[in-house]
Amino acid sequence: MSAPAAERASQPITPPKPRAKDRWLKRAPMLPALIFVILVTQIPFAITIIISFMNWNAAYPDDISFGTVQNYVTVFTDANLLKAVIVTVGLTVGVVLASALLGLGIALLLDRKFIGRGFVRTLMITPFLVVPVAAALLFKHAIFNPSYGLINGLLTTMFGENAPQPDLMTSNPLLGIGIVLVWQWTPFMMLIMLAGLQSRPMDVYEAALVDGAGPWQTFRFITLPHLRRYIELAALLGTIYIVQNFDMVFTMTSGGLGTATLPYVIYQEFFVAQDYGVASAVGVIVVIASLITATFALRTASTLLKEENS
């Protein structure tokens, strides 16, 4: 959205010459990256689609055939898979909502001046920078553990011997996973919202002040509309990353106690059950679901890009 970018849009450096050779010369530097990405990340999806129509279990290498929809029948009649869909959607929506709201609140706090603001901002970012496996282990063992975790330890310190000693990883492991994810993703949401807050056009606020608008009105009618696309972007990006999350489930519960998410089910079908056909069928379904989400995400991102170049 800077001035140079805007200029460039209207007058390209090199006047466009519709000669094929020139066009390919301009494109050439882009091709290695593009081809590399397609080869490594897109071709596998195509192969996954093919395998999903195959009868292929690694335990029975002599019994491989093509041309069956049995895998999809298995998948759609499997109660566990339906459960995994619900768990994935619930976990993602819950984590994204909670971390977006927290992120917004904290961004508003950090947007004001106070002593040590830069330092507090750095503190806020650090949870996001803990290796996910390490975060999962930390919470599972050092914080949630019923006999020597920090939470129950603090309860004992405060209320003595008879303090309640909840065992979150047994009673509600999904909530435990959710808490770790919220802890890690709130900083991400906060950073995007803060960037949004700091890009507010100030003249509007001055006008509002002159017009005698109160703080709530200013927030409701100026800040929030301006932030809307940042909130959308944060939520959509968060969804993309969190829906694919594998590390927390793998490390904290190994998919037990009703915490298996779709990525974990794919891993399990492939690595443990070794049913390549079913694993691929789940994969295809996940890709289709992601494509639907991605369409919305792309629309948001494209508004931002258009504004940058307008």
In the range 40-59, which residues lie near other proteins by CB under 8 A? 40-45, 47-48, 51
Q: How far is CA 298 from CA 103, 155, 188, 293, 301, in A?
A: 22, 46, 19, 9, 5
Is 223 a binding residue for other proteins by CB under 8 A? The answer is: yes
Closest CA to 59 of 267, 272, 265, 254: 272
Is 20 a binding residue for other proteins by CB under 8 A? The answer is: no
Is 5 a binding residue for other proteins by CB under 8 A? The answer is: yes
Beta-bridged to residue 41, according to DSSP, are none
Q: Could you tell me the smallest distance in angstroms from the CB atom of residue 72 to other proteins?
A: 15
Q: Which of 60, 65, 76, 122 binds other proteins (CB under 8 A)?
A: 122
Is 13 a binding residue for other proteins by CB under 8 A? The answer is: yes
Q: Which of 175, 246, 258, 273 binds other proteins (CB under 8 A)?
A: 246
Is 33 a binding residue for other proteins by CB under 8 A? The answer is: yes
Is 152 a binding residue for other proteins by CB under 8 A? The answer is: yes
Site for other proteins in 162-221 (CB under 8 A): 183, 186-188, 191-192, 194-196, 198-203, 205-206, 209, 214-216, 218-219
Is 259 a binding residue for other proteins by CB under 8 A? The answer is: no
Give the position of tokens 């970012």. Answer: 125
The backbone torsions φ and ψ at residue 165, rounded to the nearest 5 degrees and listed phi first, read -125, 80
CA 107/CA 34 separation, integer angstroms: 36
Closest CA to 229 of 207, 199, 205: 199
